[in-house]
Chain A
Amino acid sequence: MSGALQINHPSDAEPAALPPPRLELRGIVKHFPGVRALDGVDLVLRPGRVTALIGENGAGKSTLVKILTGIHRPDAGEIRVGGRPVSFASPQDAQDARITAIHQETALFDELTVAENIYLGHAPKTRLGFVDWSAMRARATALLYGLDAPIRPWTRLRDLSIAQRHLVAIARALSIDSEIVIMDEPTAALSHKEVDDLARVIERLKGQGKAILFISHKFEELYRIADDYTVFRDGRSVGAGRMDEATHDELVRLMVGRSVDQVFPKVPATLGEPVLEVSGLCHPTEFDAISFTLRRGEILGLYGLVGAGRSELCQALFGATTPSAGTIAVEGRRVAIRSPADAVRAGIVYVPEERGRHGAVLAMPVFENVTLACLGAVSRHGFIRSAEEFRLARHYAERLDLRAASLAQPVGTLSGGNQQKVVIGKWLAAGPKVVILDEPTKGIDIGSKAAVHAFMSELAGQGLAVLMVSSELPEILGMADRVMVMREGRMAGLFERAGLTAETLVAAATGNIQARSDQP
């Protein structure tokens, strides 16, 4: 199953100095309805070493984490902890095997105290079976002291910052006396200084012999923190080795699988007159002083770290939240957008990041989803004309190459990529002028990705204006005519396509000013 590896497999070339694996995965397979999330992946974690898990969004990293923490069960493959095969039926089993994950959105409890968050589910007990609160407090204090974390164990969690929450999550991992610690993008929302603090904590954990799986998109961090790496692509492990033996280019090539030009069918666009003009848009808590112009046929990329306020900006443009100041004009006319209904009327549509929550109505069939935003066009006097509705739905289903058993199939039973096609179809049916796409290819398979990208180009070619939020640098560099970067709710730069490099964007997004000299 894993014969396609391109680089030395850890078990092939085994330097004698390496300790035996703490965790070994062989040929893990996991299917979801319509998707092969993992298609035979291998992974090795060793005590005292940090292994970086590298891969694009949708490569299967999150699924792997869920398997390792007992939330999903693999369909095939073997998990060995300390050499012994194990199988996890529940999160409790994974905890008993001393595996802990620190999730992207750290799974903690606002109303409980720091000590309780650390010890929830495994609190120290007195002989009578009651929770031993003084022991819990003392141990939590010791753990936090050991992490150099200036947090009182009796504070309620809701009063902590994001970085402090991460420290609490790490303390939780240590409290279980975990041998294997999984960190799923722990640095996504952290500032530079906070990342430094985290690196020190990880160094300390290594010293204690923990095996650490570190997931991140930021190569600079990976070179600093990780010892080994494994690369996932489309649900397979395509490479593994020592971090200091791999170059940046090699890793990117493994991750993407081909060069950027091949993936992105960007046609050179002729830009027309301005369609969307945003000026001085502010929000009391999310973003500040955002101004830009979007022209006919243009794809404007919006880049930034998770939590930089990109989605929030999009939602304000779409009327889902109300900005406190600033103006929005469509085709030269100022529009007041107070609700999504206003935005749709003005010709602005939004393909949200969370498809299942904000995009599609999963329980409803394909045709009802496609016509949801243009019910006026398929009805007369408020009555829906069924034939008309199916005709319209079929038109967009075929145009987007939708893979469904029938138009009456509930959208929730389609694969992620096909769900996204339904959401995009819904908005095309509404006849928009501006299309906002928020992480349009997050978590969808490579085939659907290509379809979405091709379609985006086609839309721009037909004179629509596209605003595309993406965290994937190849996607931004490949698709966008211009790129706007946001950092901590503010504009951190606006760059033309010509000569733009990933480094420039990352520097602007992280606030590392040195690299930011070549562009306006």
Chain B
Amino acid sequence: MSAPVPPGLADDLDLRGLVLRRETLLAAALVLLLAAIALRFPAFVTASSLGAVFNDSAILIIMAQGQAAVLLTRSVDLSVAANVALTGMAVALIDAHHVLPLGLTILAAPVLGLLLGAFNGLLVWRLGMPPIVVTLGTLTIYRGFAFVLSGGAWINSFQFSPAFLALPRAEWLGVPVLSWIAIAVVAAASLVLGRTAAGRGWFAVGGNPTAAAYAGIDPGRSRFLAFCFSGLLSGLCGYLWVARYAVAYVDLASGFELDVIAACVIGGVSISGGIGSVPGAVLGSLFLGTIKNALPVVNVSPFAQMAISGTIIIAAVALNTRAERRRGRIILRPVGPQAAE
């Protein structure tokens, strides 16, 4: 720093703080996990295989950014997976029946997702309904509408146009477009959460809703924007999911909302709001993605996935709860020169 710094001022670069930060610990845990797998299955840790793990986690990473925004505002969005199913089904039908040009079809996904997110957000903002009730309700409604649209039929790979399916798999600089999209979304999320008024408002509203209102920020509107953000990203993932797996059906991504929340919680996003970060959500998603990818490699039954996810969620929440409890006001000051004066 060039400006003169008054004496006794803590330096910007707090090394101890950096070491103890959640993200650093999580990154270390991820490296340890990879090292443990590498000890027995070196093939898992090659560059191409790690790239595949990232690509497999891409959708989780994208949706975790949206969920993190909602969680920051002391809300929760349980409807994200149903949003994926409905938008996925909608764009699949549009493509299968050649209603729109490809570009507009793909664009329809995030737009539709945004509308679904906005509906959640409006109920929370304008009617003051508890987010958990709203999204528990819309979770069935959205998935139900996927059924209404399709009549319960599956859209299979041969019904899609080749270009629709090819986009996420296309490679640029040797990396699939799906991964590039995830990287772009993470960059955008960092910008939104870290640098825009709306994003900083989410931290303020979740940290201290009353004070945020005093500062002229409407907590309801702030929540609405977070739900819109989450819906937008879910809608985008609706297209990515359908294109990547070349199939659309009503039960698509069923239960995925739990993985998304788990990724956020593992990444240190507090469900009581106000605390969390984009790198945390990314690392949480990668941690969960790595475990899920590694299970078949280390010969664990795929049926164990669900139990492992559950255990990880509980452990992560327990860790977060302990960390949050430790903070508090301290009255007692050390007996020093002031008391002896």
Contact = CB atoms under 8 A, between A and B. Distances in A.
Contact of A121 (B7, B8, B215, B275): B215
A91 B208 contact: no
B288 to A, nearest CB: 24
B331 A287 contact: yes
B196 A131 contact: yes
Q: How large is the interface on A (under 10, 10 to 19, 20 to 34, 35 or more residues)?
A: 35 or more
B332 interface: yes
Interface stretch (B38-46, B60-68, B197-205, B314-322): B197-205
B3 A141 contact: yes
A109 B211 CA distance: 8
Contacts of B215: 91, 107, 120-121
Contacts of A122: 216
Contacts of B196: 130-131
A116 interface: yes
A286 B331 contact: yes
Q: How large is the interface on B (under 10, 10 to 19, 20 to 34, 35 or more residues)?
A: 20 to 34
A112 interface: yes
Interface in A89-121: 90-92, 95, 103, 107-112, 116, 120-121
A444 B148 CA distance: 59
Q: Taking chain B's interface residues, is the majority helix, strand, or loop, or is none over half, making it mixed?
A: loop
Given A92-B216, A95-B216, A152-B9, A131 B331 contact: no
B210 interface: yes
A121 B218 CA distance: 10
A503 interface: no
A130 B217 CA distance: 16
B213 interface: yes
A71 interface: yes
Contacts of A130: 195-196
Contacts of B328: 285
A447 interface: no
Interface string B9-32: 110100000000000000000000
Given A107-B214, A287-B331, A488-B333, A131 B207 contact: no
Contacts of A317: none
B216 A154 contact: no
B222 to A, nearest CB: 11
B6 interface: yes
A158 B327 contact: yes
B271 to A, nearest CB: 15
A125 B195 CA distance: 11
A116 B200 contact: yes
Nearest to A162: B329
Interface of B: 3, 6-10, 12, 195-197, 200-201, 203-204, 207-208, 210-217, 274-275, 327-328, 330-333, 338-339
14 contacts: A103-B214, A107-B208, A109-B204, A109-B211, A111-B207, A112-B200, A121-B215, A130-B195, A150-B7, A152-B9, A288-B332, A309-B332, A489-B331, A489-B333
